Amino acid sequence: GAGVSQSPSNKVTEKGKDVELRCDPISGHTALYWYRQSLGQGLEFLIYFQGNSAPDKSGLPSDRFSAERTGGSVSTLTIQRTQQEDSAVYLCASSSPQDYEQYFGPGTRLTVT
């Protein structure tokens, strides 16, 4: 079946602009996660959604970052007033409530110039 998809695959933006990153999880997966990975670094947890529960936003680095998940499916991560330090690969993952094995999308490579 279809895996997790993310768009765009690459995004170059100017400092100060807003960007929106999209994630389409595996059908039936109730949990959705966003992570950030800088070059040569590990995965940094940003936010996760589980069903209709309030999202865990504890990893968002600043109030410039926000995310929503509409209809329990597609999620959008928004970064306002982008800074150069926001440059990274943003990865989305989804998992089922049975086993919480996370399946990752291919990521969005964000470059802020």
Partner 1 sequence: RKEVEQDPGPFNVPEGATVAFNCTYSNSASQSFFWYRQDCRKEPKLLMSVYSSGNEDGRFTAQLNRASQYISLLIRDSKLSDSATYLCAVNTPGTYKYIFGTGTRLKVLA
- The residues with which 31 forms a beta bridge, in sequence order, are 50, 95
C-beta separation of 71 from 49 below 8 A: no
56 sits near partner 1 (criterion: CB under 8 A): yes
101 sits near partner 1 (criterion: CB under 8 A): yes
Question: How far apart are the C-alpha atoms of 79 and 67, rounded to whole Å?
Answer: 9
Q: Which of 11, 21, 29, 33 binds partner 1 (CB under 8 A)?
A: 33
Which is nearer to partner 1, 45 or 73 (by Cβ)?
Answer: 45
CA dihedral (76, 24, 51, 100) positive or negative: negative
Which is nearer to partner 1, 19 or 46 (by Cβ)?
Answer: 46
- The residues with which 103 forms a beta bridge, in sequence order, are 94
Which is nearer to partner 1, 19 or 34 (by Cβ)?
Answer: 34
| Binding stretches for partner 1 (CB under 8 A) | 31, 33, 35, 41-43, 45, 48, 50, 56, 58-59, 91, 95, 99-107
